[in-house]
Structure 1
C-alpha cells in the first residue's frame, strides 16, 4: 500500500466531516437564499458555520466569507482590498514565492497598470522585514505575503509587517492556506486586513474555502449585482461543503497542540535518520521556531527532485516536487528561485509532508530510502 507523504498538497476527507456533508446534502439541501423554511434552515446552518470560523480566527463574523477554495479566496480577497484602498497609489508588494493564484494575479494586474515588487526570500526561506520597508513607497497601497511557505514550510514575520503596513495606511493580505488548522493563527487574523484558507488542507472537502476581510473596509463586489455572500462571490452557496469544512476545522483545532508535538517528533526522527548524510542531503528552512513542523523541503546533491519523487513512488512513497499547482512546469519551484537557488541545484528540490496517518516507522523507512538514493548519487 502506498505511504502518503504529500499532506501539504491535500488531505483525505475526515470521516466525521464526510458524515456531516452527507447529512447536510440529503436532509438540509435548501438554497440559503430561498425564502421558504428549508431555505431558512440552510441559511441558519451557514450562519452557525460563519460564527464558528469567526471564533476560531477570533475575528468578527461579518468578515467571514465562504468560497470554493484557497485560490478563489486569494483572488477575491486581493480584489476586494484593491476596491477599498486607504490611499491613492498603484504599487503592490508581494513575495517572489507566493502561490500561483497570487503570483498569476499579480502578473495580470501588471498588465492593467499596477506596479508590483516581488520580494526574495533569505536562505532560511523568509522575507526579511527590512526588505518590506525598503520596498515600500508613498504609492504602495497593498502587501500580499503568505503566512506559511507551501514548499518548505517557513513562517513569515507577518505581525511585524502588519504593524508597518498599518502605520503607512497600506492594506495587508495573507495566504494562510498552509497554516490554518496546523498552528494557531488568531493573532495573524487580527493583524491583517484579509486572509485566505482552504478546506482540503485540514481534512475538509475539496472545493471549500473561506476568506476573512476586515468588515470595517468598504470593499465593493467584483461583479455588480452578486447576491450570495453579501456580494463577495456569485453562485449558490455550498452548504454541505461548508458544514463539513467547519467540522474539520473544529477537529483540527481540538487536536492541534497534540499534533504539533507529534509532528515535531516525526521531524526529529526523520532528521536523525539522515544525520550521517548532511553533506549530501539538505533540508531548507529548518528553524523550529519559524517552521510548520509537518513540511520538509529538501534536496539530494546531484539528483533531480523529479527522479527522487519517481524512485520514492516506485518504492511505495508518495512525495512531491513542490506545490501541486506548480507540478508539471519545466521551471524549478518558486521557493528555490526566490531563495537565489538556480539552475541544476534548484531542480534538485522535493517536498515531504506529514499528516494524521503518518507513522513513525514509515517516516524512518522513507528517510532510509532517501539515504540510499543519496549514496547512489555519491557513487557517480
Structure 2
C-alpha cells in the first residue's frame, strides 16, 4: 500500500520512537512527585517545553501540553472566552474549521453565544473584507485555521490579527496542519492562542499542545487540576511529549527541503492528470498561499468515496477529506465553505504527501487515477 494520506496522520519517526521508549523506561516519574525521579521527569518536561517554544517562536510560559489538536482547540477557545477583552457573546469562525472547533461552537450556541461563519472565496481563502464587515461591537473571538486541512490553503493570519487587535478581539488559530510545514515564528506571537498536534509531524498520537498569550488571565475549564498550571487535568505523558519534541526538532530542520520537494511532487502529479484535465478541478490558492503537500480536488461525475475505494483496491491510500469529518459520513467542510453544489461536494478527494513520497509513486498514483477515470467513462 502506497500512502498518500499524510494530512490525516503520519508514521512515527524511528528516532522519535527511540526517544519515547528511552523516556518511558528511564524517566517514568510523575512530574508532580517530590522525589528525584519526579524531579528528573519535571526537568525533562520543561526542557521539551522550552525547545518547542523556541521552534514556534513563543514564550515558554504560555505553552501547555494536551492530548492533541482537538482537545487543544476546545481548551484554547474556552480559555479565551473565560478572559474576554470586552463584553459580548459574538464569535466569528471560518466555515471550513476542523470538526473539533465546530463542536465547541455548537455547544456555545446553546449557552447564548452567536456565531457567524465566514466562507472561502474561489481560491480557498477567507475574504478579509467580509470578515471585517462581520465584526460587531460584541464580537469577542475569531477562530480560524492557519492552513486548511483539506485543500492546504494558507490563511492571512497576520492581517487578521491586526484587525482583531484593533477591535479588542481574541484570535485563536488551529496550527495543526501548518506546524512542521511552515515557519510560524513570525505568525505565532500575533495570535491570542493556537493549537498543534504531534501525530501530524511524525510524532506519537495522543499528544499535542496549546499556546495562550501569557498576558491572558484565563480560568481553568476543569476545576481542581494541578498539572499544567491547572490548564488540563491528568498526569502528563512525558514519553510522548519528548518524542513529539524530537520529531519537531527534526522536521523544523528540513522545512525548506520539504517545501522544495513537495512543490515538485505536486506539479508532477498535476501533470500526470493531463489526459483527464477537462474533468479535474483542483481547489488551490496562488503558490505563496498554498501548502504544496495537500492536494484537494474533484473529478467530474465520479464520487470521491468511489474513487478512494478504487485507489485503495489498486494499492493507494488517499482520502475524501479530514478523517474526523469522514467518520461522520458527511462531505468535507471545505466543500461547503467553497460553495460547491452537493454533487460537486461528493466528488471531493484529498491527496497529501509526506517524507516517504517519491516521484515514481506520485506518477503511479496519477496514472492510476487516469486509468480509473477512463475506465469509468467507457462503461455502458
Where structure 1 has 5 or more consecutive residues not aligned to the other structure, the ranges are none
Return 365-374 or 211-220, whichever deviates more. 365-374
In the TM superposition, what is the alpha-carbon distance from 1:286 to its structure 2 partner?
A: 4.5
Partner of 1:95: 94
Q: Distance in 1 between matches of 2:370 and 2:337?
A: 27
Return 218-227 or 322-331, whichever deviates more. 322-331
Partner of 1:260: 259
Contact 1:67 1:211 in 2 (8 A): yes
Partner of 1:222: 221
Partner of 1:62: 61
- TM-score, L = length of structure 2: 0.98
- Tell me whether 1:288 sits opposite 2:322 in the alignment: no
Q: Distance in 1 between matches of 2:248 and 2:20?
A: 14
Q: Secondary structure at the match of 1:234?
A: coil
Structure 1 residues 80-99: Cα deviation after superposition (integer angstroms, max 9, x where no partner): 00011110000000011100
Partner of 1:130: 129
In the TM superposition, what is the alpha-carbon distance from 1:375 to its structure 2 partner?
A: 2.0
Return 323-332 or 292-301, whichever deviates more. 323-332
Contact 1:302 1:377 in 2 (8 A): no
Q: Distance in 2 between matches of 1:218 and 1:17?
A: 34
Contact 1:30 1:38 in 2 (8 A): yes
Where structure 2 has 5 or more consecutive residues not aligned to the other structure, the ranges are none
Partner of 1:32: 31
Contact 2:57 2:184 in 1 (8 A): no
Structure 1 residues 96-155: Cα deviation after superposition (integer angstroms, max 9, x where no partner): 110000011101100110000011111111111111101100100000000000001011
Structure 1 residues 174-219: Cα deviation after superposition (integer angstroms, max 9, x where no partner): 0000010011111110110100000000000000001000001101
Return 98-107 or 277-286, whichever deviates more. 277-286
Q: Distance in 2 between matches of 1:10 and 1:299?
A: 22
- Stretches (4+) displaced over 4 A: none
In the TM superposition, what is the alpha-carbon distance from 1:256 to its structure 2 partner?
A: 1.3
- Tell me whether 1:370 sits opposite 2:380 in the alignment: no
- TM-score, L = length of structure 1: 0.98
- Tell me whether 1:332 sits opposite 2:331 in the alignment: yes
Partner of 1:272: 271
Contact 1:68 1:207 in 2 (8 A): yes
Q: Secondary structure at the match of 1:153?
A: coil
Partner of 1:119: 118
Q: RMSD of the alignment, in Å?
A: 0.9
In the TM superposition, what is the alpha-carbon distance from 1:225 to its structure 2 partner?
A: 1.8
- Tell me whether 1:202 sits opposite 2:201 in the alignment: yes
Structure 1 residues 35-91: Cα deviation after superposition (integer angstroms, max 9, x where no partner): 001000000000000101110111110000001000011000000000111100000
Q: Distance in 2 between matches of 1:331 and 1:29?
A: 42
Q: Secondary structure at the match of 1:200?
A: coil
Return 29-38 or 267-276, whichever deviates more. 267-276
In the TM superposition, what is the alpha-carbon distance from 1:328 to its structure 2 partner?
A: 3.7
Partner of 2:318: 319
In the TM superposition, what is the alpha-carbon distance from 1:379 to its structure 2 partner?
A: 3.4
Contact 2:3 2:317 in 1 (8 A): yes
Q: Secondary structure at the match of 2:297?
A: strand
Q: Secondary structure at the match of 1:187?
A: coil
Partner of 1:180: 179
Q: Distance in 2 between matches of 1:93 and 1:377?
A: 42
Partner of 1:191: 190
Q: Secondary structure at the match of 1:182?
A: coil
- Tell me whether 1:211 sits opposite 2:246 in the alignment: no
Q: Distance in 2 between matches of 1:190 and 1:298?
A: 33
Partner of 2:78: 79
Distance 1:328 1:41, change over 3 A: closer
Contact 1:281 1:374 in 2 (8 A): no
Contact 2:336 2:345 in 1 (8 A): yes
